[in-house]
């Protein structure tokens, strides 16, 4: 598997989003099946695994800890996200983003992940006015060897600049795909110009871009696709021109639509690393193979040019996901 550099971290060009193993996409695999899938991804060259303390209120970290424990620690890159606000299991609401609050979050994460350092530690939700303070604390944690690098999730350009001036940011983690391109306006160019990595979450448009779902599919339980407007049946039908475009390129290149969707994200810059969620061996193989799909400059420009003409219907927003009642009320993105 090709590698990419996120500051000091050398990661596989495509990482594995581990959220779905316990959270967000309806029925989850058994723990042993999930662990076997993580190991399969590793065997196929993936070394970059993303989790967060808030996914299933700490259970996702516990799962990832068990899965990665059986792999050589120096061969895996753990991406974890902190959010020391009060939610089930946290009893230090007042401390929030203070040094004490972040340290408690980190100690809990290290315990659940069964490790003594986190490679990439990302602020999961931004809080205006705290950027410099959080960046300063991150600098201390890096100096202590508790984390190797840090990042912010879904920050504005202004928030990045404030924090980056205090302790250089290694990677931003935000939604980026052929369906969600808003960060192209300012954040992605800033990352490119300032040697900051960009970890693209939901690069498959929550699965839509694979072309394997239709407006007739039913999603159950805590599946976010019940509430995000991207999966509203009307919007799925309205987004058919996007799938037609991807299908056309996929047929020409003899690749799958999912691979074209990931290759397009990868071709946006060598500092961009998509982390699709995937819970079947066939999908893991399909997605990781996308690292070898080459889009020439002409193909990328043609695909992007066509994409620019297509209106996208629906989004994936925190506000909609809240309707499931599976995330804390203080989620605001």
Ligand X SMILES: NC(=O)c1ccc[n+]([C@@H]2O[C@H](COP(=O)([O-])OP(=O)(O)OC[C@H]3O[C@@H](n4cnc5c(N)ncnc54)[C@H](OP(=O)(O)O)[C@@H]3O)[C@@H](O)[C@H]2O)c1
Residues 144 to 183 in contact with ligand X, rule: CB under 6 A: 153-154, 173
- Of 56 and 94, nearer to ligand X (C-beta) is 56
In the complex, least distance from residue 22 CB atom to ligand X, rounded to whole angstroms: 10
CA dihedral of residues 97, 103, 106, 112 (deg, nearest 10): -120
Side-chain half-sphere CA neighbours of 36 within 13 A:
7
Q: Which stretch binds ligand X (CB under 6 A): 89-97, 134-142, 244-252, 275-283?
A: 275-283
- Strand 118-123 to 77-82 pairing: parallel
Q: Which stretch binds ligand X (CB under 6 A): 137-145, 162-170, 232-240, 276-284?
A: 276-284
Dihedrals φ, ψ of 152, to 5°? -125, 150
How far from each other are the two terminal CA atoms of the chain, in whole angstroms?
33
Pick from 202, 239, 267, 326: which binds ligand X (CB under 6 A)? 202
Pick from 204, 246, 291, 293: which binds ligand X (CB under 6 A)? 204
Angle (CA) 325 67 31, round 5°: 55
- Of 282 and 298, nearer to ligand X (C-beta) is 282
Contact 271, 198 (CB under 8 A): yes
Residues 2 to 31 in contact with ligand X, rule: CB under 6 A: 17-20, 25
- Of 56 and 154, nearer to ligand X (C-beta) is 154
Q: Which of 55, 117, 213, 313 is catalytic?
A: 55
Closest CA to 102 of 79, 128, 123, 131: 123
Work out whether the CA dihedral 318, 320, 323, 329 comes out positive or negative. Answer: positive
Dihedrals φ, ψ of 320, to 5°? -70, -40
Pick from 135, 147, 250, 275: which binds ligand X (CB under 6 A)? 275
Give strand ranges (E) for the chain: 3-6, 9-12, 16-17, 48-50, 77-82, 118-123, 147-153, 171-175, 197-201, 272-274
In the complex, least distance from residue 303 CB atom to ligand X, rounded to whole angstroms: 18
Asked if 84 interacts with ligand X (CB under 6 A), we say no
How far apart, in whole angstroms, are the C-alpha atoms of residue 222 and residue 235?
Answer: 20
Asked if 291 interacts with ligand X (CB under 6 A), we say no
* Number of residues counted as binding ligand X (CB under 6 A): 28
55 is an active site residue: yes
Asked if 61 interacts with ligand X (CB under 6 A), we say no
Asked if 207 interacts with ligand X (CB under 6 A), we say yes
Positions touching ligand X (CB under 6 A) are 17-20, 25, 50, 153-154, 173, 201-207, 210, 212, 258, 275-280, 283, 286-287
Active site residues: 55
């Amino acid at each position: 598997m090709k590698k990419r550099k996120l500051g000091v971290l050398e990661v596989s060009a495509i990482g594995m989003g581990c959220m779905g193993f316990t959270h967000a996409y309806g029925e989850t695999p058994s723990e042993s099946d999930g662990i076997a899938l993580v190991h399969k991804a590793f065997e196929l060259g993936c070394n970059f695994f993303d989790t967060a303390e808030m996914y299933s209120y700490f259970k996702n970290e516990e799962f990832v800890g068990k899965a990665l424990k059986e792999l050589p620690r120096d061969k895996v890159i753990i991406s974890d996200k902190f959010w020391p606000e009060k939610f089930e299991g946290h009893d230090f609401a007042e401390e929030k983003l203070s040094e004490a609050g972040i340290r408690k979050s980190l100690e809990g994460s290290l315990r659940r992940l069964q490790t003594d350092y986190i490679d990439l530690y990302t602020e999961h939700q931004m809080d205006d006015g705290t950027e410099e303070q959080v960046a300063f604390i991150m600098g201390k944690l890096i100096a202590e060897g508790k984390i190797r690098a840090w990042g912010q999730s879904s920050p504005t350009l202004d928030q990045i600049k404030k924090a980056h001036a205090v302790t250089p940011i290694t990677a931003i983690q935000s939604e980026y795909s052929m369906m969600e391109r808003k960060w192209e306006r300012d954040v992605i160019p800033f990352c490119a110009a300032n040697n900051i990595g960009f970890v693209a979450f939901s690069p498959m448009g929550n699965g839509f871009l694979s072309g394997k779902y239709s407006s007739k599919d039913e999603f159950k339980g805590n599946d976010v696709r019940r509430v995000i407007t991207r999966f509203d049946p009307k919007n799925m039908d309205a987004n058919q021109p996007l799938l037609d475009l991807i299908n056309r390129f996929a047929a020409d290149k003899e690749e799958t639509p999912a691979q074209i969707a990931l290759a397009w994200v990868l071709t946006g810059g060598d500092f961009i690393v998509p982390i699709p969620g995937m819970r079947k061996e066939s999908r893991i193989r399909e997605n990781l193979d996308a690292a070898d799909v080459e889009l020439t400059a002409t193909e990328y420009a043609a695909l992007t040019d066509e994409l620019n003409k297509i209106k996208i219907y629906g989004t994936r927003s925190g506000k909609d996901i809240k309707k499931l009642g599976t995330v804390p009320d203080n989620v605001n993105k």
